[in-house]
Structure 1
Amino acid sequence: MEKSKRTVVITGASSGAGRAIALEFAKNHDKLVIASRHLMALKELAVECESLGAEVLCVEVDVANYHSVINLAAEAQAFGTQIDVWVNNAGVLAVGEFDTTPMEISDQVIKTNLLGYMHGAHAVLPYFKKQQSGILINNISIGGFLPVPYGAGYSAAKFGLRGFSAALKAELKPYRNIHVCDAFPGFLDTPGIQHAANYTGKVLKPGPIVYDPVRLAQAIFSLSQNPRAEKMVGSFAVLMRLSYGVLPALTRGAVAMVISTYLKQAKNISVTSGNLFNPLEYGHSVHGGWGLPGKPKAHRKFIGIGALVVLSSILLLKHKKSI
C-alpha cells in the first residue's frame, strides 16, 4: 500500500531535534516545508530528505517575527495545496543568573520559545479551520513541568507554552478533526547547548541523562498519525514530572544544587549571546555528541538506575524534614 503523502511544516529544522524530525517524516515520503533562520543548512538537509523520497521546500524564517511565520504558512499552502501537520519546534536557550543576564536576552528567549509557537499556531489555524482538519504539534520539553534554575526565561516560556496549549485545546474542542499535541522530551543529545546564550562564565554541558533526538522524532511522527493531547518522551521526563508534581520544593532544590555544584567546578569561558539573535555557522547536525547517537533506547538501563537514585534521594530528604 502506498504511504499517504501529507504536507508537513517543521520550524527550527536546521539542526538537532528539528533536523531529526524532518528526516523521520521524509521516510514517509511526505511533502516537507522545512524552516529556520539558516537557509544553507536547510538546503543541505533538503538533499538528505529528498534522497529518502520526500519533496522539500526550504523557507528562511525567524519565528520571533510574526509576519515571517505568516509567509511560511502561505508558502506551505501553495506548495502542498493544504497543510496537514505543523510542528512547532524552533527554540533557543539562555543560561545564567536572571539578574545578571541582560534583559534583552530573556526577552528574545520568550519571543522565540513562546511567541514563536503562538505565531505558528495563529498562522496555521485559519488553514486548519477552512479545511476542517489539521494537526499542530508543539515540542515543549520537560521544561514545561520542571523549572530550570539559571534558565528563568526558558522556564517562563516553557511553562507559558503548556498553558497556551491547554487553552487552545479547550477552544478547539468543537473542531473534531483539528488536534493540538504536546511532546515533552527529557534532555536531548543535540547541538542546542553549544548554541546557547551563556552568561554563567562557565563551559556548559547537558544533564547526565540525554536522549537521542531520533527518539523524539519518532514520537512526533507517531503523534502525526495518532494524535493525542500529550506525550512524555523518555522515562526521565516522566520521573521529573512526577517528582515536581509530588515534591516541588525538594525537586527544585535538588536541581538547583546539581547545577550550582557543576558551575562551581566547570572551566571558565567568555560570555556569549549564542544564536539568540543570529544563526551560527556550526552545529547543524542532529546530534551534539553528548550521548549515544543512533540508539534511541540506549539509555534505558541508565535511566532506570538514575530514577531510583533520584527518587530515593527525594524521599530521604522528605523523611529527614519530617523528623
Structure 2
Amino acid sequence: MMKEIRLTGKTIVITGASSGAGYAAAIEFAQYHTNLVLAARNEAALEEVAAECRELGADVLTVVTDVTDAKAVINLANTANDWHNKIDIWINNAGVLAAGDFDVTPIEVHEQVIKINLLGYMNGAHAVLPFFKTQKHGILINNISIGGFLPVPYGAGYSASKFGITGFSAALKGELTNWPEIYICDMFPAFLDTPGISHSGNYTGKQLKPAPPVYDPKRLAQAMVKVANNPRSGTFVGSASLILKLTYALFPGLTTRLTGAVMRKYLKMASPIAPTSGNLFNTVNYGMSPYGGFGLAGKPRAHRKYIAAALAVGLVTGVWLTLLKR
C-alpha cells in the first residue's frame, strides 16, 4: 500500500497556473494550507490567482516562467526549493492547443505546440528530478488529457505532443523503479470547461468549442489532490475519458475515422472566425479564469455519466455499422 502524504506545509509547484486547470488546481491545493509556487507567463493573472489562494490559507510564491525555456524552468525549481528547502510535488500543467489542417497550419505553430506541451513537461521533470533524488521522495504529476491516447484530427501537432508525453512518462517510470518514493503520476481528463480552447491557435476558419460531455476543471483538481495523497500511475478523470480509451484500444482505425468525420461535420456548421495564433507565442489577457463558459460550473453533475454512456453507445454503434458495411 502506498504511503499517505499530508498536504499541509507541502511545497507544490504548478505550471500554467494563470487559468484553466492550473488555476483550479491552485485553488484546490490552497485549501490545505500548502506552500504554492505558481508559474506562468502572465504575471498579472498569476498575482490574481495568488491573492485568491492566500485568502484560502496558502503561502504563495509566483514565478513568471516560460516552460519552453529550460533555464527558466531550472530557475523555477531552484526558486521553489530555496523558498522552503524542498519541493514535494511538481505539477506539469502548462499546455496549448492549435487546430487546423496540418498542411495549412504554419509549421512554426506545430513546433510551438510541441515545445510547450512536450518539451515544457520534459523541462519540468529535468529540473525537479535532481531535487526529488536528493530528498529521496517527490511526486511529479503530468496533466496529459485524453489527447495522450486518442488522436485529435485537425490537431496533429497537439496529438504529437500529447502522445509524446505519454511515452516520455512511461520511460521515466521505468528509470525510477529503484526510487520507490518518487512517483510519476499521469492524469487523463476528458474535455474540460476551461478557457484553453478560446486561447488556442485556430487555423480552421471556424469557431471552436469542446466536444461534449464537458467536465468541471475542479473535478481534475480534486483528482490531483487525491493523487497527491495517494500516488497512482494513471488516473482517468470523467467517464468519457475511460470510455474513449477503451474504444480506441479496441477499434483504433475506426475510432479515428469517426472522430475525423465528427470534426468535419462540426466545422461545416460552425460560425466563421479569422485565423489566430492565440496564446501560442504570447500570453493573452482574456479568459484568465478556471472556466471557459462551455459547461456547467460547480460540482460534477451525475447526468454527465449518462452523456458519457450515450457517447459510448454512439461510438460502438458507429463501429458496428462500419463493420456491417464491409
TM-score, scaled to structure 1: 0.97
Q: How does 1:195-274 map to 2 (within 5 A)?
A: 195-274=199-278
Pair 1:303-2:308 in alignment: yes
Aligned residue runs from structure 1 range 183-194, under 5 A: 183-194=187-198
For 2:150 and 2:26, how far apart are their aligned partners in 1?
A: 27
Alpha-carbon distance change, 158 to 3 in structure 1, aligned in 2, over 3 angstroms: closer
1:98 is matched with which residue?
A: 102
Q: In the alignment, which of 156, 161, 183 is matched to residue 160 of structure 2?
A: 156
Q: Secondary structure of the residue that 1:35 maps to in structure 2?
A: strand
Q: How far is the alpha carbon of 1:80 from its aligned partner? A: 1.9
**In 1: Cα distance, 2:36 partner to 2:324 partner:** 53
- After TM superposition, list the pairs within 5 Å mapping 1:132-151 onto structure 2: 132-151=136-155
Q: In structure 2, what is the Cα distance between the partners aligned to 1:127 and 1:261?
A: 49
Q: How does 1:306-317 map to 2 (within 5 A)?
A: 306-317=311-322
- Superposition map of 1:166-181 within 5 A: 166-181=170-185
Q: Hey, what's the Cα distance between the residues in 2 that align with 1:3 and 1:232?
A: 22
Q: Find 2:63's aligned residue among 59, 65, 70.
A: 59
Task: State percent identity of aligned pairs.
Answer: 57
Given the superposition, is the C-alpha separation of residues 316 and 36 from structure 1 closer, same or farther in structure 2, using an over 3 Å criterion?
same
Per-residue CA deviations over 1:26-72 (Å, capped at 9, x if unaligned) read 01111000000001101001111011110000110000110110000
**SS of residue matched to 1:280:** coil
Distance of 2:7 and 2:156 partners within structure 1: 43
How far residue 78 of structure 1 moved from its aligned partner, in angstroms, is: 1.1
1:47 aligned to 2:51?
Answer: yes
Q: Find the aligned partners of 1:3 and 1:63 in 2 and give their Cα distance.
A: 25
Question: Within 1, Cα distance between the matches of 2:179 and 2:7?
Answer: 26
Give the superposition deviation at 1:3: 6.0
| Preserved CA contact (<8 Å) 2:101 2:203 | yes
* Deviation, structure 1 residue 310: 2.2
Unmatched 5+ stretches in structure 1: none
Which one of 112, 119, 122 corresponds to residue 116 of structure 2? 112
CA deviations on 1:252-296 (whole Å, 9 max, x unpaired) are: 000000001111111111101000000001011111010101122
Alpha carbons 1:8, 1:84 under 8 Å: kept: yes
Counterpart for residue 23 of structure 1: 27
Aligned to 2:103, the other structure's residue is in SS state helix
Per-residue deviation, residues 181-226 of structure 1 (Å, max 9, x unmatched): 0000011100001100001111111112111100011111111110
| Equivalences, count | 320
> Structure 1 residue 145: deviation in Å?
0.5
Q: Secondary structure at the residue paired with 1:168?
A: helix
Distance 2:33 2:301 in 1: 25
The answer to whether the 8 Å contact 2:258/2:318 transfers is no
2:83 to 66, 79, 84: 79
- How far apart, CA to CA, are the structure 1 residues paired with 2:62 and 2:8? 21
Farther off after superposition, 200-209 or 294-303: 294-303
Answering whether residue 293 of structure 2 is matched by residue 289 of structure 1, we say yes
Q: Which amino acid aligns with 2:275?
A: V
Alpha-carbon offset, residue 303 of structure 1: 1.7
Query: In the TM superposition, what is the alpha-carbon distance from 1:5 to its structure 2 partner?
Result: 1.6
Amino acid paired to 2:78: A
State the one-letter code of the partner of 1:281.
N
CA distance in 2, matches of 1:255, 1:199: 18
Q: What SS is found at the alignment partner of 1:146?
A: coil
Q: Distance in 2 between matches of 1:107 and 1:270?
A: 21
Letter in 2 for 1:202: K
- Displacement after TM superposition at 1:138 (Å): 0.1
Unaligned runs of 5+ in 2: 1-5
Change (3 A) 1:163 1:3: closer
Q: Provide the C-alpha distance between the structure 2 equivalents of 1:237 and 1:10, rounded to a whole number of angstroms.
A: 23
TM-score, length basis structure 2: 0.96
d(CA) in 2 for partners of 1:30, 1:4: 5
SS at 1:173 equivalent: helix
Q: Partners of 2:319 and 2:45 in 1: how far apart?
A: 43
Whether the aligned pair in 2 keeps the contact of 1:212 and 1:292 (CA below 8 Å) is yes
Deviation at 1:308, TM superposition (A): 2.1
- Find the aligned partners of 1:80 and 1:141 in 2 and give their Cα distance: 31
Q: Residue 81 of structure 1: CA displacement?
A: 1.2
**CA contact 1:213–1:296 (8 Å) conserved in 2:** no
> In the aligned structure 2, how far is the partner of 1:318 from the partner of 1:215?
36
| Residue-by-residue CA offset, 1:145-174 (whole Å, 9 max, x unaligned) | 100000000000000100000000000000
Q: List 4+ stretches of structure 1 deviating above 4 A.
A: none
